[in-house]
Copies of this chain bind each other. A is one copy, B any other.
Amino acid sequence: MGATKSDLFTRQQNEIAAMAKALAHPARIAILQYLVKKNACVCGDLVDELGLAQATTSQHLKELKTAGVIQGTIEGASVCYCINPKVWKQYKELFNSFFKDVDLQQTCC
């Protein structure tokens, strides 16, 4: 036991959960916010930005890359990161549709 039983759920449910998981750490939120703020390709300075060890930062970047929400290209000795606008849009839309208006009056409880 201990592993998520993905087969019990729909593809969409697993997808939304996976997206949420990519966002489920403040360091990854900080990375994304920084990239959005810069709105450009950012080389290098992410480690200084976060305050976590280089290895840890690299790991978080890898997770975001695996999720597809950022992309990195090798630029000489360093690597440039930026938001993947296509996937960012997908995230935005999926969360939007997930949170689409519920009838906001309290029916009971």
Contacts and interface: CB of A to CB of B under 8 A. Distances in A.
Interface in A25-47: 25-30, 33, 36, 39-41
B13 A29 contact: yes
Contacts of A39: 102-103, 107
A85 B108 contact: no
Interface string A66-109: 00000111000000111101001101100110110011111111
Copies of this protein in the complex? 2
Contact of A23 (B20, B50, B72, B81): B20
Contacts of A83: 102
Contacts of A50: 8
Contacts of A20: 20-24, 29
Given A91-B99, A96-B96, A99-B91, A26 B51 contact: no
